[in-house]
Structure 1
Amino acid sequence: MPEASALRGLTEETVRALAERWYAALDRHDDLDEMKTFVVDDGLVMRFPEGTFRGHVGFAKWYVAVSHRFFDEEHKVTGTRVVVDGSEARVHVRVNWQARMWNPPSARSEWLGFDARQTWTVVAGHSGPTPLIKTYICNALEPMPGSAAL
């Protein structure tokens, strides 16, 4: 008999698929309401170098800021380690992020390239099999050679 977490959709495979869908949506700059479907509201914590954001209100503040600042984004997951423990999964994600940014009134945009290490906590979705991000911590952001600074 499958574990209860697998019955609710919380498996290594569904968590890895969540990460791939998340980054593809970030690259497309999907609508804010669509992006909220990836994360819990109650208890959401997202920590980045620029600050810590909580719940859907904090998430919206972060997402609007980054989707207006960065463009031509490409995220490539270079590694994931998923440990499912009951109703939660701890996820270690490595992702290469490349983008362009424009700082007005500069005449040109700048290229950004970073390798990021992140730790997520993912929980089973309440109304379906899709897992949701509960905590999203950027542990390290290492610039690639030639990258502009953030």
Structure 2
Amino acid sequence: MKTLTPLTESEVKQLVDDWYLKLDVHAPGEEFLSMLANETLEMQLPETTLHGQDEFKTWYDRVIHTFFDEVHTMQSLDIKTTSERADVQLVVRWEASRWQAPAPKSQRLAFDAAQRWVVKRSQLTQKPVIETYIVDSLTPLEGFPSL
């Protein structure tokens, strides 16, 4: 097995930035796959836990058909790297709109999402990939509804 170069803080930060940009523009699901570990991926979300890229694709397709006008704004980001991985703790403000039939208008949502990620370097591509993605809390901002 090839020895992998340790991750740098800057390349992990770039992964985080790219991730949220793609979410905001509803990039095609395939564009996320190179950012995610394949067989070992685990995503603990408020509504479900996903394993692997296929479950991510199904979840993502549902999300982009539920929420629109999304904006993710980083509130805090802490990256700690070791020789094997990067541990990421972040809080991102997520704002989105949703329309639930038969409501006459859409509804604006706003949350602070505290998350923990484990990022590793892909054996295949040598690029950083998210292996573990945990949403620890999803706190609605004052005056906004919950999910």
TM-score band by shorter chain is over 0.9
Partners in 2 of 1:107 and 1:50 — Cα distance? 26
**Aligned mate of 1:89, from 83, 86, 89:** 86
Please report the RMSD computed on the Cα atoms of aligned residues, expressed in angstroms: 1.4
**Aligned mate of 1:101, from 93, 98, 103:** 98
Q: Determine the structure 1 residue equivalent to 2:41.
A: 44
- Which shifted more, 79-88 or 67-76? 79-88
Question: 1:128: Cα distance to partner?
Answer: 3.6
Alignment of 1:35-74 (within 5 A): 35-74=32-71
Alignment partner of 1:13 is 2:10:
yes
Partners in 2 of 1:129 and 1:13 — Cα distance? 15
Alignment partner of 1:75 is 2:92:
no
Partners in 2 of 1:41 and 1:127 — Cα distance? 11
Q: Determine the structure 1 residue equivalent to 2:112.
A: 115
SS of 1:63's equivalent in the other structure is helix
Question: 1:62: Cα distance to partner?
Answer: 1.3
What TM-score does the superposition give when structure 1 sets the normalisation length? 0.91
Q: Determine the structure 1 residue equivalent to 2:28.
A: 31
SS of 1:19's equivalent in the other structure is helix
Partners in 1 of 2:25 and 2:65 — Cα distance? 12
Aligned residues: 145
Structure 2 runs not aligned, ≥5 long: none
% identical aligned pairs: 35
SS of 1:56's equivalent in the other structure is helix
**Which string of whole-angstrom CA distances, capped at 9 and with x for unpartnered residues, describes residues 19-73 of structure 1?**
0100000001001111112101111000111110110111112111111101000
Amino acid corresponding to residue 13 of structure 1 in structure 2:
S
